[in-house]
Structure 1
Amino acid sequence: MTETPEDFTDRPSSTQHPGIDHVLSTKALKSLAHPLRVSIYDELSAYGPLTASGLAERLGESSGSMSYHLRELERSGLVRENTSRGKGRERWWERVPGSVAVPDVRTLPPGSAERLAAKLVEDEWFRAREQNARDFLREGDQVFGPEWLDVATSDTVNLRLTPEQLHALVADIDVVFQKYGALYKHTPSPGSRPVQIHLNAFPLVRGQVTEDTTSKERS
């Protein structure tokens, strides 16, 4: 278990996604509910510690704007200064370790600021994931050699599962994620690059429930 900032709630119950360390508190959620702050948080998550000027260059914003938003995220326990880096007045920032999730929107009052914030953060996260995937499809063959292109993958698997079976599947996958996270997240190997893995596991809205044909056959 990684550090638990006071602004986060306790670990979710076992019925929720098993790989989540913290659900964002109301304070943290409202602080993150800004497209630029989500982008800052994502950059630090994907690429590791960066300075305000480094973030500004990557995101096309001013370093002053970056510094302001970083301080706001710091107040909410989402990012922190990395004091092992930098010289003089140069400050490096990193994401506070641990997996996070937005609160279950079903628990938030309809039309409330908290529910709107949760939706905004979710939308921005999905937009960023889609953009990263599109960037790889569009530019990957110009950036990477065959040693990367031959192992990168984008798979779609269609199954018919009950809620309990889907939960078991996600739990098994999380074990693998946590294994590789423990091995390489904070001790990357020479020659490694930032890698992003997407897992979307959900029932299809236009799908139909599988009927129990065994009882009909017996009657």
Structure 2
Amino acid sequence: MDDEKSEVGRRVEARHSADRVLDTGALRALAHPLRVRIYDILSQYGPQTASSLAAQLGESSGATSYHLRALAKHDLIREVEGRGTTRERWWERPVGGVSFANPAAMKTPAGRSATQLVMAEFFRNRQQQLLDFIAGAPDHDEVWGDSVMISSATTRLTPAQSHELTMRLMAVVDEFVDTYRNQTGDDVRPVTIRADVFPLPDLED
């Protein structure tokens, strides 16, 4: 069992060893609510143009184009090769993991502020997606009813056991992401995956 646990951990660590840890410059470039939403849309739905993003976000294409260029300046996104025209460019987020947690950035006021803004906005967007899904759940039940899990559980773990749990969860998520990342089809939709594992604070006496 110990060998199995360590093997899962090794696979996960190898899989994420090349994840990009955003430096202070990239975090500051991303630290704008609209840019976080643009980045998230590109992550979840794939390539977009300034016009398609403007339509989804209720902004002008000039505004989305400006923010796209700012994100591209720090290699957070890139132009899609061989697609689009000089008037209508397509943008994508490069494949691969990204970490907002940069210990070096957190040591400076600017880096800490940018990190907090990015993470707060990112999780606010994801939480709103969950709330929107719950509000529209009856419309999804016929097709997706048995394919959705919104669940919460509590147990008591040591730090080592919590680490084992996160490694196992990450291994399952990685397997599905790698297998189905580029899948297409009539009944295929982007599916967001969330796994929250953290210790609860102690209750005050």
Q: TM-score category by the smaller chain?
A: 0.7 to 0.9
The answer to whether the aligner puts 1:197 opposite 2:204 as a matched pair is: no
Q: Report the TM-score, using the length of structure 1 for normalisation.
A: 0.80
After TM superposition, give the deviation of residue 196 of structure 1 in Å. 0.4
Give structure 1 stretches of 5+ with no counterpart.
Answer: 1-13, 209-219
Residue 55 of structure 1, aligned match among 47, 53, 56 = 53
Distance 2:102 2:81 in 1: 34
After TM superposition, give the deviation of residue 189 of structure 1 in Å. 4.6
Q: Which residue of 1 aligns with 2:156?
A: 160
List aligned pairs for 1:180-195, cutoff 5 A: 180-195=176-191
List per-residue Cα deviations over 1:92-149 (Å, max 9, x = no partner). Answer: 1111211111124686236x0100000001101110111000000001322x352212
Q: Give the secondary-structure state (helix, strand or coil) at the position aligned to 2:92.
A: strand
Q: Which residue of 2 aligns with 1:73?
A: 71
Instruction: Name the count of aligned residue pairs.
Output: 192
List aligned pairs for 1:2-17, cutoff 5 A: none
Q: Which residue of 1 aligns with 2:165?
A: 169
Q: Give the secondary-structure state (helix, strand or coil) at the position aligned to 2:101.
A: coil
Q: Which residue of 1 aligns with 2:113?
A: 116
Structure with greater helix percent: 2
After TM superposition, give the deviation of residue 90 of structure 1 in Å. 1.6
Q: Give the secondary-structure state (helix, strand or coil) at the position aligned to 1:206.
A: coil
Contact 2:24 2:105 in 1 (8 A): no
Larger Rg over CA atoms: 1
Q: Give the secondary-structure state (helix, strand or coil) at the position aligned to 2:96.
A: coil
Q: Which has the higher contact order (CA 8 A, sep 6+)?
A: 2
Structure 1 runs, 4 residues or longer, greater than 4 Å off: 17-20, 104-107
CA RMSD of aligned residues (A): 2.2
Q: Report the TM-score, using the length of structure 2 for normalisation.
A: 0.85
Distance 1:146 1:91 in 2: 37
After TM superposition, give the deviation of residue 26 of structure 1 in Å. 1.4
Contact 1:105 1:115 in 2 (8 A): no
Distance 1:149 1:83 in 2: 38
Distance 2:203 2:193 in 1: 26
Distance 1:85 1:136 in 2: 32
